[in-house]
Amino acid sequence: MVNLYFQPDAQLTAQDRMVLDILQKDYERHQNKDSKLPREPSSDSDDSVVKHTRFDSSSPEDAREIEEQALAHMRDLNNSTSSAFEPTVFVTHDYPDIKNPLLRKYIIDPYVRWARSVVRVDTDVVMVTHLLLYLFTSIPSAIYMFYNFHWWHGPLHSAMQLYYMGSYTLMMHQHIHMRGVLNKKYALIDVAFPYITDPLMGHTWNSYYFHHVKHHHVEGNGPNDLSSTVRFQRDDIWDFLQYVGRFYFFCWFDLPRYFIRTRKPDLALKAGAFEIGNYIFLFCMFRFVNARATTFVFLVPLAIMRLGLMIGNWAQHAFVDEVEPDSDFRSSITVIDVASNRYCFNDGYHTSHHLNPLRHWRDHPIAFLAQKQQYSNEHALVFYNIDYLMITFTLLAKNYEHLARCLVPMGEQMKMTVEERAEMLRRKTRKFSEEEIAEKWGKQYARLK
C-alpha cells in the first residue's frame, strides 16, 4: 500500500482490503494527474521512502472495471447460490483459510451445514459459533462462581467477558435491528437468550434496543439525541467526562423522560421498567445471594460496558460537519480496521449503518463501494489503521496530526496537506453553540434563554 502513511494490518478482512486498495488507487490517480514529477520525501515521517513509493495507476476506465469486479466478487461472497459463497464461521479466521482437509471434512463443513439451517441469514454461521461459545464458557463460569467463589476466578471471569464484549455487542446490534439472528423456527431461543447473556456482558435488559433503535437512530446525533456529541467539545477531557457521566448515572431516567417528551408513553414505561427491573435484580443478587460473585459476574461488566459504549459513540460522532451537521455522511465516519470490522461485524462502516440501519453487516463494504462517489462528493471521512477506542483517546490527546495520517483522503481531501487535513478535523470537533443549533436544526432544538 503506497501514499498512505501506514501499512494495512495483515488481519484486515478481504472486503476491507479490496475497499482500501481501490481508495488507494483513486488517490494515486489524483496525484499522477496533478503532477508527473516525483515528489521530494517529506520530513514529517520516518517512513517517507515507503510512503511515497509510486507506480503507474490504472486509467479511469480500468478503475471502474476493477470496482465493478470487486463489487461483483463481494456480492458473490454473500450469495449462497454462488460458487464463491463464503459464510463467516469465526471472527478470527476466514472460512477459506481453514485448510486442514480432515478438519474441514469431519468438523467444519458439517458444522457449517447445520448452522446455516439455524441462522436467519446464510452468511451468519458465526452467530451460532458465538452463542455456543458463551453457552460453554460464560454461563458455566458464572454459575460456578456463585456456587463456589474463588478470588482468582473473579478477575479471570471478568477478563474473559471483557474479551467477548465487543463481538457480543455487535452481534446484538444485528439482533436488535433485525429482531433476531436465528431462523424463525428458533424464535423462542432468539427471544430468550439475551435475557441470560445481556447481563453477563454488561447490558441491562432491552436498554440497548430502546436507546439505540428507538432513540439514537430516530434522532441521528442531533441535539435531541441523549447520546449526541454536538453540545460537547470533542477533544476536551472535561466535556468527555460529562458525556460519560450523564449516560452512566442518568440513562435510567433520561431515556423514559425522552419517550414521554416525544409522546411515546408505552416506550417510556417499557424502557424504565426493564432498566429499573435490571437494577433490582442486581441489588437482590448482591444483597441476598453472593456479593462477591455478583460483583465480578454482573457489576464489573456493567461498569466496563457503559464506558465502552460511550467511548465508541463519542468516536463515531466526534467529527460533525460545521456546514451540514445533520447529514449522515457528515456526522458519522467510516473506519477500515481490524477491531471494528473483523471482530465486531463491520461496525467500522458507521456511516453506511446510519444511511440504512436495516442493512446486513456483510453488505456494508458493498454499499460503501457502490456509493463511493457520493461519499466523496459529501466530504465523508474515512479512517484506517485506527479503531474507535484509539480515535477517542487520540482526540482527547489533541493529536490531530496522527488522525490526519489515518485519514484516507477522498475528493477534495486529496488536495490537502497533512496539516490542512488536521485543521479540517479540528474544526469538525468544535462544540455547537445554542444559536448554531437553532440555525442548523431549528429553534425547537435549542436551549435559548
Residues with Cβ within 8 Å of residue 335, at least 6 apart in sequence: 341, 348, 349, 350, 382, 383, 384, 386, 387, 388, 391
Model confidence at 121, pLDDT cuts 50, 70, 90, reads: very high
Give the residue extent of every domain in the chain.
14-82+322-416, 103-316
What pLDDT, on a 0 to 100 scale, did the predictor assign at position 47? 42
Q: Which three cell numbers stand for residue 388?
A: 474507535
Q: What are phi and psi of 312, to 5 degrees?
A: -65, -45
What pLDDT, on a 0 to 100 scale, did the predictor assign at position 34? 64
pTM above 0.75, yes or no: yes
Q: What pLDDT digit, counting tens, does each position of 146-169 carry?
A: 999 999 999 999 999 999 999 999
Q: Please give the average per-residue pLDDT across 335-360, as a whole number.
A: 97
What pLDDT, on a 0 to 100 scale, did the predictor assign at position 404? 97
Between the alpha carbon of residue 145 and those of residues 115, 130, 150, 200, 287, the distances in Å are: 31, 21, 7, 13, 16
What pLDDT, on a 0 to 100 scale, did the predictor assign at position 46? 43
Q: What pLDDT digit, counting tens, does each position of 201-222 carry?
A: 999 999 999 999 999 999 999 9
Q: What is the dihedral of CA 370, 374, 376, 380, to 10 degrees?
A: -100
Q: Can you say whether the dihedral through the CA atoms of 115, 121, 124, 127 is positive or negative?
A: negative
Model confidence at 4, pLDDT cuts 50, 70, 90, reads: confident
Model confidence at 449, pLDDT cuts 50, 70, 90, reads: confident
Q: What pLDDT digit, counting tens, does each position of 20-53 carry?
A: 999 999 988 888 776 554 544 444 444 433 333 3
